[in-house]
Amino acid sequence: DTGVSQNPRHKITKRGQNVTFRCDPISEHNRLYWYRQTLGQGPEFLTYFQNEAQLEKSRLLSDRFSAERPKGSFSTLEIQRTEQGDSAMYLCASRPLSTHEAFFGQGTRLTVV
Amino acid sequence: DAKTTQPTSMDCAEGRAANLPCNHSTISGNEYVYWYRQIHSQGPQYIIHGLKNNETNEMASLIITEDRKSSTLILPHATLRDTAVYYCIVRVASNNAGNMLTFGGGTRLMVKP
């Protein structure tokens, strides 16, 4: 059971730098989600893929954020020109088409200094 | 998606049942009740879901009132490892939609020895 894998687990970056996170979903899970969680709050939805198609994006996903899921397998989330307000835990989840349960990764904790 | 209301925090003695309430008075007939929990520094974990009937699995029981306006998650014999934030989420489940999760603040359950 490999579960949802996210890399890196931690990232410290200077303000203004670009960062990229990777999510490897459970094999054959065609739905993939990105969430962001700040300290003391519940996770907030960012974007959703079904296979390689990005079908929904939250208003939270500013122009500096971009997500891809080439070939419908792993996904990447890139943040350009990072700001201190981007500091958060970035969570990835996946699930098959016909089940209720979403499986979350351990997250990538981003700190912008 | 219907909004939910949960107590901010609760304590439970180890070995006793933990009963976590959730109010969802505006729930629609086609909306499910989902429970997830998040242990410190980990991604959320699915626990259970239900529509109308009470449900039980190896982790917990879910009791939904007849009018569906509230529910209770029951951990029958809480252990220290059950200390976590518990999220009650209400949403439609559809194969034609993203089915992303809207997390509130959750209930912080502290299991004490």
pLDDT for the residue A32:
96
B34 and A100 within 8 Å at the Cβ level: the answer is yes
Detail the DSSP E strand segments found in A1-113.
Answer: 5-7, 10-13, 19-24, 31-37, 44-50, 53-57, 65-68, 75-79, 88-95, 103-104, 108-112
Higher-confidence position of B94 and B55: B55
* Residue B86 confidence (pLDDT) above 70: yes
From the CA of A79, how many Å to the nearest CA of chain B? 21
Sign of the C-alpha dihedral, residues A97, A72, B37, A5?
positive
Name every chain B residue with its beta carbon within 8 A of the beta carbon of A21. Answer: none
pLDDT for the residue A97:
81
Name every chain A residue with its beta carbon within 8 A of the beta carbon of B103. Answer: 42-44
pLDDT for the residue A57:
92
C-alpha closest to that of A93 among A10, A2, A22, A4: A4
pLDDT for the residue B95:
66
Higher-confidence position of A2 and A10: A10
pLDDT for the residue B100:
86
Q: Categorize the per-residue pLDDT at B23 as very low, low, confident or very high, splitting at 50, 70 and 90.
A: very high
* Residue B55 confidence (pLDDT) above 90: yes
> Alpha carbon of B6 to those of B21, B26, B64, B85, B86: distances in Å?
6, 14, 15, 11, 9
Name every chain A residue with its beta carbon within 8 A of the beta carbon of B108. Answer: none
pLDDT for the residue B67:
95
The stretch B86-105 carries a mean pLDDT of: 85
B102 and A104 within 8 Å at the Cβ level: the answer is no
* Residue B94 confidence (pLDDT) above 80: no
pLDDT for the residue A100:
86
The stretch B11-17 carries a mean pLDDT of: 97
Q: Categorize the per-residue pLDDT at A39 as very low, low, confident or very high, splitting at 50, 70 and 90.
A: very high
B45 and A104 within 8 Å at the Cβ level: the answer is yes
Higher-confidence position of A99 and B25: B25
Average pLDDT over chain B reads 94
> Alpha carbon of B95 to those of A27, A83, A95, B52, B88: distances in Å?
19, 36, 12, 20, 21
Average pLDDT over chain A reads 94
B5-9: long-range contacts, CB 8 A cutoff, minimum separation 24? B5/B104, B6/B86, B6/B87, B6/B88, B6/B104, B6/B105, B6/B106, B6/B107, B7/B107, B8/B105, B8/B107, B8/B108, B9/B107, B9/B108, B9/B109, B9/B110
pLDDT for the residue B99:
81
pLDDT in tens, A54-83: 999 998 889 999 999 998 899 999 999 999
CA separation for the pair B93, B113 (Å, rounded)? 38
Residue by residue, DSSP assigns A25-41 as PPTT--EEEEEEE-TTS
User: Of A44, A55, A100, which is closest to B98 when you measure between CB atoms?
Assistant: A55
